[in-house]
Amino acid sequence: MPRKPSPQGIPEKILRHVTSGGYRPQKPRRLAHAMGVADREYPAFRAAVKELMRAGRIVQGGGNCVMLPDAKDRIVGSFRGHARGFGFVVPDAQTEHGDLFIPPKATLQAMTGDKVVARITRRGRGESQSRVEGEVIEILERSDRRFVGALVKDGRRWLVRPEGHVLLQPIVIPDARSSRAREGDQVVVELTEYPAAEEPGRGVIVEVLGRHGDPGIDTLSIIRQHGFPEGFSEKVVNEARETVAGYKLEEELAVREDLREEVIVTIDPDDAKDYDDAISVRSAGKGGYELGVHIADVARMVPAGGALDTEAAQRGNSVYLPRHVIPMLPEVLSNGLCSLQEGEPRLAKSAFITYDAQGNRQRTRFANTVIRSSRRLTYREADAILGGKTDGYAPEVVTLLKRMDRLARRIQKRRLARGMIVLDLPEVELVLDDEGNVTDVEPADTSFPHTIIEMFMVEANEVVAELFTRQGVPHLRRTHADPPADAQKKLATFLRVLKRSLRPPYTREDLLKLLAEVRGRPEAFAVNLAVLRSMARAEYTTRPIGHYALASEHYSHFTSPIRRYPDLVAHRLLDLYLHKRLTGSRGRQKAPGRDALAAVGKHCTYSEQRAETAERELRLIKILRLLESRLGDVEEGVVTGVAGVGLYVQLRRYLVDGLIRFRDLPDDWWDIDTAGGCVRGQHSGRRIAIGDLARVQIAAVNVPARELVLSLIEDSGKRFDKSKKHR
């Protein structure tokens, strides 16, 4: 069995320190001092060092210095499994080759999230030199012992079939009756024995959630499956209440810029509960404008180091599930004192950006302010106002909306000219009944007010990052690396199937030209989706590597401190800057160091990706539940992938992928060309390729496995490309 980490989390802190870019080998005592370990904590620190050495994650080198092992062919990282049996090891420390591919028979039964040691077994050559394969040789730490699934009876055995793709084998429950769970219940099971090569895992039921398939149970299952917290501790809630009770507007007005008479609005979705950004726009002469981006001053309400801050840092972000929110901060703050509610005076951090008549930035300033939102608008209301439906709205609000529209279009034009990448990918909104069941889907609202707010938020995030860069202080950046070399090659291969050319390494201009060429064409969706999949994932880091999609050299998250911890970190740094510059009476607190910020960034990247994964998974579950009731329906789709098992088709109405198994294709001998992204019928000459439109029938749905099975409609009239008979 793998060793358990120490309860204090000291091993993880040591690893973060020794894997940071500036670390040099040190003796344990000096290492402890550098990490700020108190003398009373040193015995636990020393035990953690020995634990890491036993696990092979650090070694004692010359002079008894603590250092990393020779990682030439040995990788320590997190395992990410795939439903088809293979996986990847994501290295803890940066490597020249990135993620390590693990074939199906080399995973050592590792599960998604496990901390593992892997050995490189094969390095690519020539054009594929970035493709590196390996095998898992040791599981250092299991990600979790708990899984969610349905309780079923298999002969005389009771089993739990885990949902999703983390653990694919059923779990044997030797004593199911003691839990009082019934067959068909959705349960949480804790493993007592992990699965081995030939044996399934064994476990005990620790919680009965309810009947499998109920909409509320689906949400609860996702919460349990991803380990999200529920509620706040009494200590955290009490601190939030004390903050609210101690708030005195008069004291704040004495030290802040008073903007309560300024015309300011918020624009948010219909169902928004917290409002952390508001906008003002003034004329600035010669056709220019001064944009004010006013962000809820959460830093004033959540002091660093307190119970509130500790909890927010651990959560990393709020989680938005359909009809359910898991907030980063207690509601008394997130929906109360920190929310920029209409007509209520609220504390804000404001970025003022002056533009010329062409939308170019001229100057920027920042201030701690008190604002009062003149009107809370939804995107639909803002769009109606811009369309001329102004009845019931104050003239000054209408004037502000028109200024916002003009300025945002200028900014958008400038940013597009600079190379900002905008993908044309549709989205859908779920239509839910009172019980939370999906009754239908509808296209998401894409009216221009969404772009207005996006442009203003991007501008504010950018100018804050530029300020910190000019000041020369380490700060948490929102980065988006250039597409990796291997992903560029995959995209180029995909595009060749569509008779499009994009030779790697391609430039941003090459990519923008491609997107412009396919705009409005049948293959546009498939191309945009492939470009999205070729992109690196955005991260929080201190490294100045820029934001590729936004064509931004310096970028930070600043505009959503109610729901994102990195934004709160940025607010605190801005507060130090403002008070040092304005009064000198505050701001003596030392700014966080690069290593501390890097650790925060790594955790927040993980928590954000976990939240996004959970939201996508629950949306998929709800849509699959809907499609269970629509078996036999015929839908239009787009072929998005060719694999050894069949064709993947995304339904254009529901935006979910389904599989057409090769055995369900029309009667023919089908030649499979996964590299070329197509299949050919030897007798008919029919060619089905990525990007083709297809009419398909919903054949089967397996919600626990997150699978949708489709069948091709033979007489659909689909315009597959015809080609010569394959030889």
Q: At residue 508, does pLDDT exceed 90?
A: yes
Average pLDDT rounded to a whole number, residues 166-180: 83
Return the C-alpha torsion angle 590, 595, 596, 601, nearest 10.
Answer: 130
Confidence tier at 657 by pLDDT (50, 70, 90): very high
pLDDT tens-digit readout, 592-645: 888 899 999 989 999 999 999 999 999 999 999 999 999 999 999 988 888 878
The strand pairing partners of 437, in sequence order, are: none
Angle value at C-alpha 197, between 192 and 199, nearest 5 degrees: 50
* pTM higher than the cut 0.85: no
Q: What is the mean pLDDT of the chain?
A: 88
Between 36 and 291, the more confident residue is: 291
* Cβ atoms of residues 273 and 335 within 8 Å: yes
| Most distant CA pair in the chain, distance | 84
Paired sense of beta strands 132-141 and 115-123, if any: antiparallel
Question: Are 10-67 and 630-712 in the same CATH fold?
Answer: no
| CATH node for 146-212 | 2.40.50.700
Which of 93-102, 332-341, 352-361, 450-459 comes out lowest in average pLDDT? 93-102
The SS3 assignment for 183 reads coil
For a pLDDT cut of 70, what percent of the chain falls above it?
Answer: 91
Q: Which of 718, 682, 676 is nearest to 697 (CA)?
A: 718
Q: How many helices (H) and strands (E) does the chain have?
A: 17, 33
pLDDT tens-digit readout, 424-467: 999 999 999 988 889 999 999 999 999 999 999 999 999 999 99
Q: Would you state the pLDDT for residue 274?
A: 86
CATH topology of domain 74-141: OB fold (Dihydrolipoamide Acetyltransferase, E2P) (2.40.50)
Confidence tier at 199 by pLDDT (50, 70, 90): confident
Confidence tier at 1 by pLDDT (50, 70, 90): very low
Average pLDDT rounded to a whole number, residues 323-344: 96
Q: At residue 201, does pLDDT exceed 80?
A: yes
CATH topology of domain 10-67: Arc Repressor Mutant, subunit A (1.10.10)
Q: Would you state the pLDDT for residue 98?
A: 64
Confidence tier at 229 by pLDDT (50, 70, 90): very high
Q: Would you state the pLDDT for residue 278?
A: 98
Domain boundaries, the chain: 10-67, 74-141, 146-212, 234-478+544-616, 482-535, 630-712
Paired sense of beta strands 257-259 and 361-372, if any: parallel
| CATH node for 630-712 | 2.40.50.140
Mean pLDDT is highest, among 158-167, 375-384, 582-591, for 375-384
pLDDT tens-digit readout, 350-372: 999 999 999 999 999 999 999 99
Q: At residue 71, does pLDDT exceed 70?
A: no
For a pLDDT cut of 90, what percent of the chain falls above it?
Answer: 58
Average pLDDT rounded to a whole number, residues 35-59: 82
Half-sphere exposure of 373 toward its Cβ, with a 13 Å CA cutoff? Answer: 25
Enter the tokens of residue 11.
């091993």
Q: Would you state the pLDDT for residue 726?
A: 27
